[in-house]
A and B are shown apart, each in its own frame.
Chain A
């Protein structure tokens, strides 16, 4: 592989969600959010998640708000366009709080959103900040009762003396109203900052993880949770690693994994014991000694872990790479992809500007053939597992014409810069894509830049 430019020459096409061998070209669909370069901190997107059908797309931001977009039903007259996502509901999920006992401010930033599988007409999602998890019910109201006997239409009570007739109130259609209401609030479960939540396949329980502990909750019970993992040492001076992410297996309700700041992943089986401090499997790759540096600890910290949809693999993201692990092989990943290897020589500068601590997420496509993750300069990477190809694309306002095909981007790490390549030193490290999501069935992706949400879709012929 050519070392002076990333990625190596490759076509933009890759296997589509429908199966291997289909070539996919990505084109712009929509962008949400303000155009201003001056970004308000509250508007910074902090999480993105499709629901299980892909019809709804939720985003959370630093201001504690959740915005849900809904895919419109397809426009039959324009088959070239896939249906668009429009705002469905917006609500304030979390507010800033103050812990007076500890003199700590609790940020309202939404760290994670996870959808529950749909059981009835309403939709449910879990949203969490650093300390509190909330279960929200999102329901539609498209009719309202009219014709009360004792009340006027505006709600004022009628004078009883004026009532001379009796009528039965009836439901009449009204403009669709989407209501979000908090159904459960799960508080006081965590001493440290919650970094992830994961809904179980049993649809009754979920996990929440902070730096040192993982709790198991029942969706109906808010006043207690069960601690399943606790890595807090008796003496905090001996602390060497923290928990960075956790996820339930997509099918096995007894199995979950959690990743650590040391680059390890532990798989736990809740059938083996109630307390899962002792793992069932430990996934760890020995460090390459030639890559050892001051920053080895930091860049090996895993920022995200995701099971594949089929449950056979899991993917981890650390600062420079994405690794695919077979659940049956613990000693090394089956695949490793370099996301932006050209940054390895810049780690000191990235430490200085704090970018080395950025926590990138990763996601699978519907059939687990392609994975995606973000990078800097509003670049994001699509890594095709089946065809062993990768491509770098950019979420940019300059490529915002409807159905405009995204051109692959290339970064030149050294040597002579070719036309259309961008040099490493020209990358904008303030423009980072930390959060991405892939529609569970179709080739539609949601990519969050600092305060904008880009939706790209497969080019339709």
Chain B
């Protein structure tokens, strides 16, 4: 679980840094990173579920027991998490990494010029942006053009928050 978490964190940061790479986004690299991150995420979530399930079993039987049962997968205790890892840790087992990414984005944002929420979109942007939430527009976004972003486009980050992690390739 520790390894899975580390790999997830690494993968996400690498996916982000791909955007600023000279020469544009590498589809091959981002595909491999996404796949690795998905594999790590699945294992992390599975381990998390397992741990939560075991905790639920432990609590009713022994209310005064504060000791976690040793896990096969994980030896971590929550206290050992770094602040970065805490930001990554999902609030609920079912919460997708998309929200984590949002939190992470918020905590690590350094070069974006504007806060990218639909509600505060300026009205001088092209009308096309208003259709971004529709399926048709999503298809358009997932089309051939791979965009890189210097942090100037509201659209970029909007797609980040809109799509779950397994669409990281096209969101880039």
Contacts and interface: CB of A to CB of B under 8 A. Distances in A.
A62 to B, nearest CB: 10
Size bin of chain A's contact surface: 20 to 34
Contacts of B27: 192-193, 211-212, 239, 242
A242 B31 contact: yes
Contact of A103 (B3, B7, B147): B147
A107 interface: yes
A451 to B, nearest CB: 18
Contacts of A301: 28, 32
A106 B146 CA distance: 13
Interface residues on B, range: 20 to 34
Given A103-B147, A107-B23, A211 B28 contact: yes
Name the prevailing secondary structure of the B interface residues: helix
B57 to A, nearest CB: 29
Interface in B74-131: none
Nearest to A301: B32
B23 A297 contact: no
A298 B145 contact: no
Given A351-B7, A352-B10, A294 B144 contact: no
A307 B40 CA distance: 36
A294 B24 contact: no
A236 interface: yes
Given A294-B7, A294-B36, A297-B36, A105 B31 contact: no
A261 B32 contact: yes
A191 B145 contact: yes
B46 interface: no
Contacts of B47: none
B144 A193 contact: no
Interface in A98-154: 102-107, 109, 130
A241 B35 CA distance: 10
A75 to B, nearest CB: 43
A295 B36 contact: yes
Contact of B7 (A104, A212, A241, A348): A348
A244 interface: yes
Contact of B28 (A102, A261, A354): A261
A31 B29 CA distance: 32
A240 B39 CA distance: 13
Contacts of A226: none
Contacts of A73: none
Interface string A220-256: 0000000000001001110111101000000000000
A354 B11 CA distance: 11
Interface string B131-157: 000000001001111111110000000
Contact of B170 (A195, A236, A354, A357): A236
B167 interface: yes
Contacts of B139: 235
A298 B36 CA distance: 8
Interface string B1-43: 0011011001000100000001110111101100110011001
Contacts of A240: 31
B160 interface: no
Given A192-B146, A236-B169, A294-B40, A357 B32 contact: yes
Given A103-B148, A193-B28, 10 more contacts: A104-B147, A106-B23, A192-B146, A211-B27, A212-B27, A237-B167, A239-B27, A294-B40, A348-B3, A351-B36
Interface of B: 3-4, 6-7, 10, 14, 22-24, 26-29, 31-32, 35-36, 39-40, 43, 139, 142-150, 166-167, 169-170
26 contacts: A102-B24, A102-B145, A103-B149, A104-B148, A105-B22, A105-B24, A130-B23, A191-B146, A193-B24, A211-B27, A235-B139, A236-B170, A237-B166, A244-B28, A261-B31, A294-B3, A294-B7, A294-B36, A294-B39, A294-B40, A294-B43, A297-B39, A298-B35, A348-B6, A351-B10, A357-B32
